[in-house]
Amino acid sequence: MFEYCSDPKSLEGLIWLSCYVTTPKHMSFYGSFLVVMGLLALAAPLAMLFGFIGAIASRSSKSLVRFFGKGYLAMIRGIPDIVFFLFIPIALDQAFEYLRHKILCPEVIEPIRQGNDFVVCTAAKLPLSAASEWVHDLYGFSLALLAFGFVFGAFTGNVLFGAMAAVPKSQLETGEAFGFSPRQVFRRILIPQMWIYALPGLSNLWMILIKATPLLFLLGIEDIVYWARELGGIKTGVYDYPHPDWRAWYFGVLMIFYLLLTYISQIVLDRLSNKLSIGQATLAGKAI
């Protein structure tokens, strides 16, 4: 980045360090923090959407809808998360490529499954081989985002289902007595009242989601864990900036980052809890 960094082997001390921490790889390392924050910003509302749909489906009066809703919520609880984090991106990727192969290459008669290989025509590959690197990165990130949303959506659904059940039935019955339709009772009474009961569970899920972001590394995405291991490993004299094993320092930075993120999150969640507790018939509400 700096002009004096043209010959790293002639540098020493702080000047060497200033050049070292501004290399292109370090810039990618700094950018990977934005990848983690982007995942959190997108995965949380996506999980809420999946969870809300699952919770409503579990309360449906239609047996088939209720079966799928409860099945979704129960399935994630009974299978290790890592299985879904690895299965969903692979399954979605192959499903998309399979559909594109059938649509774009109908003349190909060879089977797609050839032993252990999954072979589709060139036009059906996602992303296309000629696509830019950022397209490949965005595609991989999107698959990982769906995996996070699907898994944490099930946990969110369980929290929301319990919160809906915790709303006093007398409030719902009062709404019905005033002539509210079931849909109005759900929208105007049940949904606003359930958040105070759901917030403790949602707060825990948010903290777990923060701690789960390093799973991006297992999905082949160059996140902060990838770059910390890559940059912190031993670099011999063949590299421009040789150094011993510095992984402890890099992972120490990640520890500080996650501690700060969880600390700030706890402050925000506590304030939100106090705001939602006002006027509620709960211990927190009575204390306020």
What are 4-18's pLDDT values in tens digits?
A: 787 777 777 888 888
**Residue 50, CB half-sphere, CA atoms under 13 Å: how many?**
20
CA distance 211 to 58: 28
| SS3 at position 159 | helix
Question: Which segment, 10-24, 38-52, 265-279, is predicted with the most confidence on average?
Answer: 38-52
- Please determine, for residue 57, whether its predicted confidence score (pLDDT) is greater than 80: yes
The neighbouring-strand residues paired with 235 are 243
CA distance 200 to 202: 5
Task: For the chain, give the mean pLDDT.
Answer: 87
- Please determine, for residue 283, whether its predicted confidence score (pLDDT) is greater than 70: no
- Please determine, for residue 282, whether its predicted confidence score (pLDDT) is greater than 60: no
Question: Which segment, 45-54, 110-119, 163-172, is predicted with the most confidence on average?
Answer: 45-54
CA distance 20 to 242: 10
pLDDT tier, 220 (very low <50, low <70, confident <90, very high otherwise) = confident
> Can you give the CATH number for the domain in which 201 is found?
1.10.3720.10
CA distance 189 to 127: 46
Extended strands (E) in the chain: 113-114, 117-118
CA distance 97 to 203: 37
CA distance 211 to 192: 29
- What pLDDT was estimated at residue 279? 64
Q: Do 72 and 54 form a contact (C-beta atoms < 8 A)?
A: yes
pLDDT, one tens digit per residue, over 90-102 is 888 889 988 988 8
pLDDT tier, 27 (very low <50, low <70, confident <90, very high otherwise) = very high
Could you list the residue range(s) of the whole structural domain that residue 215 is in? 3-287
Q: What separation in angstroms does the CA of 79 have from each of 64, 87, 93, 151?
A: 22, 12, 21, 10
Which ranges of 79-185 does DSSP label H, i.e. alpha helix? Answer: 81-104, 133-166, 169-177, 182-185
Q: What percent of the chain is predicted at pLDDT more than 90?
A: 40
The neighbouring-strand residues paired with 37 are none
**For the residues 210-237, what does the mean pLDDT come to?**
88
DSSP at 5: G
- What pLDDT was estimated at residue 281? 55
Q: Do 66 and 58 form a contact (C-beta atoms < 8 A)?
A: yes
- What pLDDT was estimated at residue 278? 67
How many structural domains compose the chain?
1
Residue with tokens 């719902």: 172
Q: Give the list of residues 6+ apart from residue 29 with CB closer than 8 angstroms, or none.
A: 224, 227, 228, 231
Reported for 117-120, long-range contacts at CB under 8 A and 24+ positions apart, including other chains, are 118/94
Reported for 135-140, long-range contacts at CB under 8 A and 24+ positions apart, including other chains, are 137/221, 137/222, 140/89, 140/219, 140/220, 140/221
- What pLDDT was estimated at residue 1? 62
Question: Would you state the structure tokens that stand for residue 21, as one six-digit string?
Answer: 């921490």
How far is C-alpha 152 from the chain's CA centre?
8
- Please determine, for residue 30, whether its predicted confidence score (pLDDT) is greater than 80: yes
Q: Give the list of residues 6+ apart from residue 250 with CB closer than 8 angstroms, or none.
A: 227, 228, 229, 231, 232
